[in-house]
Chains A and B, each alone.
Chain A
Amino acid sequence: MILTVAEMSFPTGWIPPYNTLVVAAGVASVGFAAGVVGCFAVLRRRALAGDAAAHATLLGVGLAFLLGGGRRDLPLLLGGALSTAIAALLALVLIGRWTRTRDDAATAIVLGVSFGAGITLLSGISARGIPGSAGLEQFLLGHTAGLTAADAMILGALSLLTVALVALFLKESTLVAFDPLFAAASGWPVTLIDYALVVLVAVMVVVGLPAAGAVLVTALVVIPPVTARQWTDSVGVMLPLAGLFGLVAALSGVAVSSAVPRMPTGPLVVIAASILLTISLLIAPRRGGLARWLRSRRTVAAWAEGRLLEVALRLEAQGPFTREQLLAKAPGVAVDSAFKRLVRSAAIEPVVTRAGTDAWRLAVWGRELAAERSRRLAAWTEVLEAAREDARGHLTIDVPSPEAILGAARMKAIRESAAAARSVSGPA
């Protein structure tokens, strides 16, 4: 299925070379896995911790390059990136535990300083003209053109492994993401699961480096889950959907950057993901902007019609009424169009009188509608009043005496222990 999508991103009639196909497949699986893993990062509000880890990867790439004696061996570089990414997360935890610096500042510190260290190291390497260092800058903004088929297969395999881990621990992760307190009370190792999820995010950030680069790879982890969230309320649907959005974004970014010379892949991937998000924000059912707008319009229209019918029923007691009278008694938004609709649906009908005056009355159908509406209003009023009487015993509106709730014996015990406490501490 991944290959099919990969093929679709190329013009038909042109058979891409083997290497291009494998790289596209690898990047597609990276996009998919990043979307899936990102769901929990977004749900657990760890998005920016992932960003700090992502910025730290540059330092690891530089260190691994130096330690490896100047080889541009992708697994080695990514190994280095992973170790500094995890070190950055560790630094976040330690700052939180040992200092009084708050979370946001800690994230900014780790992000800025580790990125600075990475830049310092990479600049130093390139200033010394170490052979093979020219390609290292590609890790800043991502560049998939240089990937070999073997590299892409490693990336793909890592991504699928990550997805498999998430699938395996889906129940635990979901529980921790939505109700950590309940999870802790039920005996789950919440901290461990939390750390495992953050480490998975770090892994995804590293695997996504060649596709999106250190600066923007967070977007690959954050935007697809946010997009998927617009379409569904269920985690089971959100995960594959986020994966799908990530896959599409990654592939379109790679396709466009291979067509435009010198264009880094990362920004294009991010822009593709944002376009998907924008579309989703507009047209997603129920949560989308369009659906929201239609819903609010329907509510306003129904309310205006109801108001008109209600007023019409009252006015009718004195015979036919004019349109002006009716609208003056029921001011508000959208009453004009509501009046038109009521006339068109024959809820309000014209009274045939002398020519030149407009006079209206409720049709039988309209009267039924109005009656039903006032019946419902009356019923709701009754319910609310009853509920208020009932609620009065429990709410703070009219606080009952504590004896009524706690019982006389318990009150006595409380008073006695309070008195005892006072006598010990003495008068203040």
Chain B
Amino acid sequence: MMEFDSTHLWMHFWAIATAATVSAGCALVGSFLVVRRLSLLGDAISHAVLPGIVLAVLAGGRPGGAGVFLGAVVAALVTVWLTNLLGTHAGLAEDAGAGVAFTTLFAIGVVLVTALASRVDIDPGCVLYGILELVPFDTVPIVGLEVPRALLAAATVLVVLVVAAALCWKELVFTAFDPAAARAAGLPVSLVSAGLLVATSLATVASFEAVGAILVVAMLAVPAAAAELLVRRFHRMLLVAVALGVAGSIVGYLAAWHFNTNAAGMIAVVLGIEYLLAAILAPGDGIVARMASRESLRWRVACEDRLASLWRAEEGDAAALAPRTLVDRLAQARLVFGGRIVPGRAGGLTDIGREEARVIVRSHRLWEAWLGRHVALPLDHLHPPAEWIEHHLGAEVRGRIAADLEGDVGDPHGRDIPPEEFPRRAANEPTR
């Protein structure tokens, strides 16, 4: 672990720039992998490129050089080919096949690295978790500026990936979301898939030096999965994923510097926190939003049930139930506050409250009448479904049911169905 003097701002700048570039490329490719349910392909490839890299270095390639990229792409293709072979010939499920192929290739890579340590300039630790802190020390001069070699490689790959994605955007998206239709439309689907495979290995190799084999998995999958939770449109998901990846890299690097620990690992942790926040806070689909919508539904149902029970009490069939549970009491208070119920212990309906209650009871009894007419259910089985659906029937459906009942104004229990006068927005109109 390197200790940095805080005056070496350039060092930190280069390391952060490398991490962010690598992360952007991974998030870009990862988005396609995630929507195509191929996240584990990233896992497999990131493990399997190791022997390719080692052999390419052994053959004289420089880390970050074109030869190493070629070796890695070949190794990635071999993994996928092996997985398919194990699937078709040995009848293995895809996960087991991938598990066999990538662990074996990775093991071969580790053995090669360890056995040839004197001849191959790859640190076995770097293989697993990368040494981002050392990236600024291996530089090449570009127009008078000493640029880290890893950053140069990552930036080249990023440009290639962005250009490729822009050129084949339509094909990529079509293939990702509806491969069958894309094939039928004459797109070269398997060529697009192979291209994605090559892109994944490029992004993986570019990241390899900085973050190592296994943390690439996090960079590929986590920002994309978080972005998928946050937005619905794919092009936005792509941008959000890249933004999350870049932000995670910067924050992760700074946090690692602060806590004096491995930067790549910390970046993965920060990405994980981003995903967690997205899962909890995402609008619409997040855990909080879902709980909120469930609670608001429960709340509305409680209010409407309260109104309906007061209506029935006014009809004289039954005494109004006193609010018992906490939700009931809160509903009562809200109805009083909203001018639906007269304040005080006796607490009858106000005019507005009566109007709304009538619609709910009408929905309830219409449904009972309709069930009684068309479905052979015993009388005591009509109430539960009606009790549930009374909160969801709109004016149009009520109208159709009433038309079907042809002016029959009583429910199966012999009570009147309240009329639908003064059509206006009632409390039980579905909000969406």
Contacts and interface: CB of A to CB of B under 8 A. Distances in A.
B382 to A, nearest CB: 16
A348 interface: no
A219 B100 contact: yes
Scoring B106, B117, B128, B264 by chain A CB atoms within 10 A of each residue's CB, the highest score goes to B128
A337 B107 CA distance: 45
A281 B107 contact: no
A140 B128 contact: yes
Given A108-B221, A115-B268, A51 B107 contact: no
A343 to B, nearest CB: 36
Contacts of B290: 98
Contact of A120 (B125, B214, B261): B261
A425 B104 CA distance: 62
B39 A216 contact: no
B394 to A, nearest CB: 14
A42 B96 contact: yes
A325 to B, nearest CB: 40
Given A98-B287, A424-B401, A127 B1 contact: yes
A268 interface: yes
Interface string A86-119: 0000000001001111101111110111111111
A99 B106 contact: no
A215 B215 CA distance: 12
Contacts of A119: 128-129, 215, 262, 264-265, 268
A408 B225 CA distance: 55
Nearest to A45: B93
A423 B373 CA distance: 13
B267 interface: yes
B229 A116 contact: no
A55 B108 CA distance: 19
A112 B400 contact: no
Contacts of B294: none
A378 interface: no
Interface stretch (A69-77, A258-266, A353-361): A258-266
A34 B125 CA distance: 26
B95 interface: yes
A46 B407 CA distance: 60
Contacts of B374: 420, 424
Interface stretch (A175-183, A186-194, A222-230): A222-230
Given A116-B269, A277-B100, A263 B115 contact: yes
Scoring B34, B129, B268, B401 by chain A CB atoms within 10 A of each residue's CB, the highest score goes to B268
A117 B400 contact: no
Interface string B89-107: 1111101101110011011
B218 interface: yes
Contacts of B299: none
A270 interface: yes
Contacts of B96: 42, 45, 47, 222, 226
A274 B285 CA distance: 43
Nearest to A99: B279
B64 interface: no
A123 B252 CA distance: 14
A216 B272 contact: no
Contacts of B99: 47-48, 51, 218-219, 222-223
Interface of B: 1, 34, 37-40, 42-43, 86, 89-93, 95-96, 98-100, 103-104, 106-108, 110-111, 114-115, 117, 124-125, 128-129, 214-222, 224-225, 228-229, 256, 259-262, 264-269, 271-272, 275, 279, 285, 287, 290, 370, 374, 400-401, 403-404
Given A45-B96, A119-B264, A264-B114, 5 more contacts: A47-B95, A112-B219, A113-B222, A119-B265, A426-B404
- Closest 6 A/B residue pairs (Cβ): A116-B268, A112-B218, A113-B272, A119-B265, A108-B221, A123-B262
16 contacts: A42-B93, A99-B279, A104-B37, A105-B37, A107-B40, A108-B221, A116-B264, A119-B128, A120-B259, A120-B269, A222-B99, A223-B100, A267-B107, A281-B89, A425-B400, A426-B403
Interface of A: 42, 45, 47-48, 51, 55, 95, 98-102, 104-109, 111-124, 126-128, 137, 140-141, 215-216, 218-219, 222-223, 226, 229-230, 260, 262-264, 266-268, 270-271, 274, 277, 281, 287, 289, 292, 420, 423-426
